[in-house]
Structure 1
Amino acid sequence: MIFERINADLALKAAAIIVQAYAEPPWNEKWNLDGAATRLLELSNTPGWLGVGALEDRAIRGFAIGHPYTSASGTGLYIPEIAVLPQYQRRGIGTQLLKLLEEEARKCGFKSTWLLSQKEGGAAEYYKACGYKQDQNLRVYARSIR
């Protein structure tokens, strides 16, 4: 497995990973290929975005994408997507992707990385094991506008 920065073309090839990985627990989301490709196009068109991938036989098996998020404390890298094909999970690939993305962010001058995920369960435990902590002051608020 090769871990490296990816360009927008390779990021778009990761759409099938979103469809497959997010169909599994704990997410159980029903993505279609067009929606996943649109998501990756949005992210890879964001100025300053960073993407890393896990490649095997020139095919992408997992990825992590981040983009700049500036606040009063400086510019951090927000990581909206990280996914690995289900048959490649639990092999340390996601952890290596996260570490590589953090290293690339450090090289680009970002001061921190952050992400949103489930507050409990396997995903939360995974991020805690990778050194992420839940913020005690912030919560996600959402509202349907349909």
Structure 2
Amino acid sequence: MMNIREMQVDDIVACADILCSVYNNEMWQCRWSKETAEEYLTDFFNMQKFVGYVLEEDGAIFGGLFAHEKVWWNNSEVFVEEMFVKPELQRKGYGSMLLGTVEEYISKKGLAGITLSTNKYAPAPLFYKKNGFVDCEHVIFMAKEM
């Protein structure tokens, strides 16, 4: 039976492998190396107010959620940096279980809610809307290549 537990540093290698399997494809068009994925996730893990969970069964990891508490002017919130579930287990409710665990954390701490960003051309926005998220029309994501 799948269960969710708090993430430990030893989980990063398995999570990096899953991240590569989820994003290195035509839909997401990423080209993560295992080493870069491990460094990327380790940076999140080392954040001062890190919040992280893994989806596991019999000691094997099948998904992860990397987030952190973010101070805001009226009440702190949790910002989800990365969330992924092995491709063969997607659309089975496990992503919703991971989000539910974060929601419990937020409730216990009396925080404002969850924020995140995702690719609007992927299936992810529909998943998040199904889980109660709404578009924030007053926010845009901007970038500048150098």
Fold similarity call, TM over 0.5: yes
Tell me which residue corresponds to 1:134.
135
8 Å contact from structure 2 (residues 18, 63) kept in 1: yes
- Mapped to 1, the partners of 2:9 and 2:109 lie a distance apart of 18
Unmatched segments (≥5 aa) in structure 2: none
Tell me which residue corresponds to 2:59.
58
**Per-residue deviation, 1:65:** 1.4
8 Å contact from structure 2 (residues 52, 66) kept in 1: yes
Aligned length: 145
Alpha-carbon spacing, 1:106–1:11, altered in 2? closer, same or farther (3 Å): farther
Alignment-mate amino acid for residue 105 of structure 1: I
- Mapped to 2, the partners of 1:54 and 1:84 lie a distance apart of 8
Stretches of 4+ aligned residues off by more than 4 angstroms: none
**Per-residue deviation, 1:110:** 2.3
8 Å contact from structure 1 (residues 49, 68) kept in 2: yes
**Per-residue deviation, 1:109:** 3.6
- Mapped to 2, the partners of 1:23 and 1:3 lie a distance apart of 25
- Mapped to 1, the partners of 2:123 and 2:50 lie a distance apart of 27
User: How high is the sequence identity, in percent, across the aligned residues?
Assistant: 26
TM score, norm. by length of structure 2: 0.91
- Mapped to 1, the partners of 2:133 and 2:120 lie a distance apart of 12
TM score, norm. by length of structure 1: 0.91
| 1:32 lines up with 2:25 in the alignment | no
**Per-residue deviation, 1:71:** 2.1
Secondary structure at the counterpart of residue 101 of structure 2 = helix
- Mapped to 2, the partners of 1:137 and 1:81 lie a distance apart of 22
Secondary structure at the counterpart of residue 41 of structure 2 = helix
Tell me which residue corresponds to 2:75.
74
